[in-house]
Amino acid sequence: MEKRHALATLRPLSEEARELARRNAQTIERFLGHHRLSDDWYDVVVFRYLLTVQNWLDRPELHRYAFSTIAWRAMSSAVSNERRKQQRRIRTVSLDAPVPGTDGLTLGDTLTEDNLYYVPYRTEVA
């Protein structure tokens, strides 16, 4: 039966871990360049990279793969998770923004009192 590992949390790196991270730091830049990701993505991938450094040292069974392979897969996962998270965020829409393909018609132009859904409230005078 395969042993399941708990989610890792980033902790201070040992000297061995710092050296491994330093020796392979170019993996981060190659990954960002390969995927044409801006520097805005650096924070997303660097933390997963550092977790990978810890996992690599804590889990000898990973040594059958190249460190760069493990790091690359982990950083890909981090980018994928971040993109999914961004897609779930609520996006604001301006009523003054033009509707594509309508020669300048805005969302605000399409609103009329007839198509507004509202609940009329009565105010009672006491």
DSSP symbols for the chain: -PPP-PPP---PPPHHHHHHHHHTTHHHHHHHHHTT--GGGHHHHHHHHHHHHHHHHH-GGGGGS-HHHHHHHHHHHHHHHHHHHHHHS-----TTSBPTTSTT-BTGGG--GGG------PPPP-
Residues 80-96: pLDDT tens digits?
999 999 999 888 888 88
Residue 125 resides in a domain: no
CB atoms within 10 A of CB 115: 7
In a domain, 45, yes or no: yes
In a domain, 31, yes or no: yes
Query: Rg of the chain over CA atoms, in angstroms?
Result: 25
| Separation between Cα atoms, residue 21 and residue 25, nearest integer Å | 6
In a domain, 126, yes or no: no
Q: What is the pTM of this model?
A: 0.67
Query: pLDDT band at residue 15, thresholds of 50, 70 and 90?
Result: very high
Q: How many domains does the chain have?
A: 1
Render pLDDT for 27-50 as a digit per residue (tens, 0 to 9).
999 999 999 999 999 999 999 999
Q: Is 119 a domain residue? A: no
Look at residue 52 and tell me if it is in a domain.
yes
Is 78:41 a contact under the CB 8 Å cutoff?
A: no
| Token duo for residue 43 | 């924070």
| 75 in any annotated domain | yes
Is residue 49 assigned to a domain?
yes
- Split at pLDDT 50, 70, 90, the class of 104 is confident
Domain that holds residue 40: 15-88
